[in-house]
Structure 1
């Protein structure tokens, strides 16, 4: 589990200590076209000298920060958006002058970092961050995800060392959560596949509260909303500079206008399955279930193979084989032997091997993984230049959206 407490930078660059995170409270507001999340972190410096606290936290990939406010030693700081270099220069200047300062920056897609400078001994810092997420309804269904975990990842990140999340398997942190659903979204059927919740329906809104007063930060919180019809929705906001507007449209196809058609050609599928150590537990079970379902959909004319990977990779077949009875029987036997026992996560090597197999012949790649690796941009670039269609199945309690959704 990730240590959520802030990392404290001392006079010695290599010396770090953990500033305890004393409380986290989250409020989620879900409307038709937009969700707004407000996260309140409360920290306290229990050292005997001033510190700089640096901590990282996950956000949805398409989130936009709407506001940042900090209360330090009775003073309230309101953030403003400036260019990265200007922000870093202003922050360092304030620190050098002994002033309290806050710097929020994106470490990589899906991960942000906050620097709290000059937190005095026994001083408390309360940080409130608001971000908005566009709601993406698909066939009357919305899946809302509140990420709470940055799990250990394989490899070395590209960002600064003090932004690298520390990991302590003995650390345990919790948070209080309340969700309010309003607008037409309040008419939807609501379910939570990750946590037991209480659902209270009012006249124009729905409130969702966990059955437990506190939730442990060991998995993402997921809500699923389903409704019969998806209507157009929008927001507008008056500002001194004019009116800002956001609109979402949901065109409805006429009944019977779309019909299923037979595939024009047999499928050629290379299945790449993560069997690294991070997949232990529920993740490898989910991966094997996904693979079993995929094999069941193959027709005799389709061709396929499977490569499982970790620190190394190995093939079921060294070429694409017709999915006849014999090949499927071998694949199911191979699946039963699969486990999370292959060490590290050399995802790029496995993908390169899959792309190189029968290169030049149109084929699809299905990747099954939890995505727990660094340097996502390089992997995404590799896939985009492969001349393959790549489909990703994310598994586990906190799959890395920064890789899987791109």
Structure 2
């Protein structure tokens, strides 16, 4: 899900969804492992540039190994691993200068959600996000028959948080 960020702060205040135009999943299952590449295409239908936040759920035991963003099939941005605070600072500075910027990070509250910040997406621009990950498959037993389970999370379920006392 790609959402429009209302404020330019690190705390996300989301207004509305950016329309999903297309999705493509390529998964290779081998023995007890899955190699998954998920591509989602979004478009900025707003009349102004937006900063969008993309929340991507993965299996808890998955490892993301690639992230690529393509804008209007012209520019391709390939992820580069950096220390978290450095990456956040560079992202904020790029936005302040009016440049497009992307930040891919693991959600601090949950190990199974990744967050992609897409800054300065121009009106009418199409953003194609491709994420690749590997995951160990679960071995289940139904009626004494071993079965391998493969799941692609599609939504982020609300987390249980006990009420504060």
Pick the TM interval, shorter chain: 0.7 to 0.9
Report deviation, 1:113. 0.9
Spell out structure 1 runs of 4+ moving beyond 6 A.
none
Q: 1:7 aligns with which of 3, 6, 19?
A: 3
Q: 2:154 aligns with which of 145, 148, 161?
A: 148
Report deviation, 1:16. 2.2
Q: Which residue of 1 aligns with 2:89?
A: 89
Q: 1:37 to 1:348 in 2, by over 3 A?
A: farther
The 8 Å contact of residues 3 and 14 in structure 2, kept in 1 or not, is answered as no
1:138 and 1:348 map into 2 onto residues whose CA distance is: 37
In the TM superposition, 1:181-192 aligns within 5 A as none
Query: Which of the two has greater strand per residue?
Result: 2
2:25 and 2:133 map into 1 onto residues whose CA distance is: 11
Compare CA radii of gyration and give the structure with the larger one.
Answer: 1
TM-score by length of 1: 0.35
Report deviation, 1:17. 3.1
Q: 1:4-44 CA deviation, whole Å, 9 max, x = no partner?
A: 3x221245876723321222211111012421111111111
Report deviation, 1:110. 1.0
2:137 and 2:156 map into 1 onto residues whose CA distance is: 23
The 8 Å contact of residues 32 and 148 in structure 2, kept in 1 or not, is answered as no
Residue aligned with 1:146, SS: coil
| Bigger relative contact order (CA 8 A; separation at least 6) | 2
In the TM superposition, 1:293-304 aligns within 5 A as none
Query: Which ranges of structure 1 fall in alignment gaps of 5 or more residues?
Result: 156-345, 350-406
Query: Which ranges of structure 2 fall in alignment gaps of 5 or more residues?
Result: none
Q: 1:11 to 1:147 in 2, by over 3 A?
A: closer
Q: Which residue of 1 aligns with 2:135?
A: 133
1:61 and 1:104 map into 2 onto residues whose CA distance is: 17
Q: 1:332-371 CA deviation, whole Å, 9 max, x = no partner?
A: xxxxxxxxxxxxxx5999xxxxxxxxxxxxxxxxxxxxxx
Q: Which residue of 2 aligns with 1:79?
A: 79
Report deviation, 1:83. 1.2
The 8 Å contact of residues 62 and 133 in structure 1, kept in 2 or not, is answered as yes
In the TM superposition, 1:99-248 aligns within 5 A as 99-107=99-107, 108-137=110-139, 140-155=146-161
Report deviation, 1:137. 4.5
Residue aligned with 2:151, SS: strand
